[in-house]
Structure 1
Amino acid sequence: MAATGAAKGRLVYNIYKAFSYALSPLLRLHLQLRKLRGLEHPTRWPERLGRPSLPRPPGPLLWFHAVSLGEGMAAIPVIKRCVQCRPDLNILMTTTTMSAFEVIKNQLPSNVLYQFSPVDTPAAVDAFLGYWKPNAVMIMENELWPNLIMISSRKGIALALLNARISAKSFRRWSAPVLFRLISLLLSKFSLIVPLSNVQAIRLQLLQAPPSIINFSGDLKYAVGYDICNEEQGSINDLKTQLANRHVWMASSIHRGEEEVILGVHKVLLQMYPDLLTIIVPRYPQHGQELAQELQKEGHNVALRSKHQRITPGENIYLVDTLGELRQLYLLTPVAVIGGSFCPGFAGHNISEAAAACCAIFTGYHVGHFSHMVHEMQLLNPLSVLQVSGKSDLQANIIELFGNARVLETRRMAAGQAFHALSSGVITNAWNLIKIHILGQALAERI
Structure 2
Amino acid sequence: MAERWWSRGGAAYAVYRATSRAASPLVYLFVQWRRLRGLEHPTRWRERLGEPSFPRPAPGTPLLWFHAVSLGEGLSAIPVIKRCVEQRPEIAVLLTVTTVSAFEVIKERLPCGVIFQFAPVDTYDAVNRFLGFWSPDAVFLIESELWPNLIFSSATKGSTMEAIRFQLLSAPPVIINFCGDLKYAVGDFNMSEKELTTLEDLRVDISGRRVWMASSLHCGEEKVFMQIHKALAKIHPALLTIIVPRHVEHGRKIKRELNQQGISAVLRSSVEKISPGTAVYIVDTLGELRTLYRLTPIAVIGGSFLPEMKGHNLSEATAAGCAVLTGPFVGHFSNMIRQMSAVDRLSVWQVNGREELLEALKQLLGDDLALEARRAAAKKAFSAVSGDVVSRVWELISTHILAEQPRLERRN
SS in structure 2 at match of 1:280: strand
| Structure 1 partner of 2:48 | 48
Bigger shift: residues 23-32 or 319-328: 23-32
1:432 aligns with 2:391: no
Q: Distance in 1 between the 2:92 and 2:344 partners?
A: 41
In 2 relative to 1, CA 308–355 (structure 1 residues): closer, same or farther, beyond 3 Å?
farther
Bigger shift: residues 7-16 or 407-416: 7-16
Name the aligned partner's letter for residue 409 of structure 1: E
Q: Distance in 1 between the 2:401 and 2:310 partners?
A: 31
1:263 aligns with 2:226: yes
In 2 relative to 1, CA 40–313 (structure 1 residues): closer, same or farther, beyond 3 Å?
same
Q: Distance in 2 between the 1:153 and 1:5 partners?
A: 9
Cα displacement (A) at 1:329: 0.3
Match of 2:75 among 73, 81, 84: 73
1:282 aligns with 2:242: no
Cα displacement (A) at 1:25: 0.9
| Structure 1 partner of 2:176 | 214
In 2 relative to 1, CA 4–117 (structure 1 residues): closer, same or farther, beyond 3 Å?
closer
| Structure 1 partner of 2:27 | 27
Cα displacement (A) at 1:423: 2.0
Cα displacement (A) at 1:348: 1.1
| Aligned 8 A contact 1:226 1:327 in 2 | no
1:98 aligns with 2:100: yes
| Structure 1 partner of 2:57 | 57
| Structure 1 partner of 2:85 | 83
1:421 aligns with 2:411: no
| Structure 2 partner of 1:242 | 205
1:384 aligns with 2:386: no
Name the aligned partner's letter for residue 151 of structure 1: S
In 2 relative to 1, CA 145–4 (structure 1 residues): closer, same or farther, beyond 3 Å?
closer
Q: Distance in 1 between the 2:5 and 2:23 partners?
A: 27
Match of 1:223 among 158, 177, 185: 185
SS in structure 1 at match of 2:73: helix
In 2 relative to 1, CA 391–443 (structure 1 residues): closer, same or farther, beyond 3 Å?
farther
Name the aligned partner's letter for residue 185 of structure 2: A
SS in structure 2 at match of 1:159: strand
Cα displacement (A) at 1:438: 2.2
1:61-116 C-alpha deviation (Å, 9 max, x unpaired): 11000000000000000000000001010010000011101100111012111000
Q: Distance in 2 between the 1:122 and 1:219 partners?
A: 31
SS in structure 2 at match of 1:223: helix
Q: Distance in 2 between the 1:311 and 1:217 partners?
A: 43
Cα displacement (A) at 1:164: 2.0
SS in structure 1 at match of 2:383: helix
Gaps of 5+ in 2: none
Q: Distance in 1 between the 2:343 and 2:69 partners?
A: 31
1:372 aligns with 2:335: yes
1:362 aligns with 2:325: yes
- Identity %, equivalent residues: 54
Cα displacement (A) at 1:440: 2.6
Q: Distance in 1 between the 2:83 and 2:335 partners?
A: 25
Q: Distance in 2 between the 1:5 and 1:358 partners?
A: 45
Cα displacement (A) at 1:442: 5.9
In 2 relative to 1, CA 6–111 (structure 1 residues): closer, same or farther, beyond 3 Å?
closer
| Aligned 8 A contact 2:62 2:405 in 1 | no
Cα displacement (A) at 1:296: 2.0
Q: Distance in 2 between the 1:356 and 1:331 partners?
A: 9
SS in structure 2 at match of 1:251: strand
| Structure 2 partner of 1:329 | 292
1:273 aligns with 2:275: no
SS in structure 1 at match of 2:122: coil
Q: Distance in 2 between the 1:398 and 1:10 partners?
A: 55
Q: Distance in 1 between the 2:147 and 2:354 partners?
A: 40
| Aligned 8 A contact 1:335 1:361 in 2 | yes
In 2 relative to 1, CA 5–419 (structure 1 residues): closer, same or farther, beyond 3 Å?
closer
1:249-305 C-alpha deviation (Å, 9 max, x unpaired): 000000001001111110000000011000000001100122112322332111111
Cα displacement (A) at 1:444: 2.1
SS in structure 2 at match of 1:46: helix
1:391-431 C-alpha deviation (Å, 9 max, x unpaired): 11000001011121111111100100011112221100011
Name the aligned partner's letter for residue 113 of structure 2: N
SS in structure 2 at match of 1:13: helix
Q: Distance in 2 between the 1:266 and 1:61 partners?
A: 51
Cα displacement (A) at 1:217: 1.3
| Aligned 8 A contact 1:226 1:328 in 2 | no
Q: Distance in 2 between the 1:52 and 1:164 partners?
A: 28
Q: Distance in 1 between the 2:73 and 2:23 partners?
A: 27
Match of 1:340 among 303, 321, 325: 303
Q: Distance in 1 between the 2:156 and 2:114 partners?
A: 26
Gaps of 5+ in 1: 166-185, 188-207
Q: Distance in 1 between the 2:311 and 2:9 partners?
A: 33
SS in structure 1 at match of 2:334: helix
In 2 relative to 1, CA 271–443 (structure 1 residues): closer, same or farther, beyond 3 Å?
farther
RMSD of aligned Cα (Å): 1.5
TM-score (norm. length: structure 2): 0.95
Pairing of 1:290-329 with structure 2 (within 5 A): 290-329=253-292
SS in structure 1 at match of 2:165: strand
| Structure 2 partner of 1:407 | 370
Cα displacement (A) at 1:238: 0.8
Name the aligned partner's letter for residue 14 of structure 2: N
Number of equivalences: 405
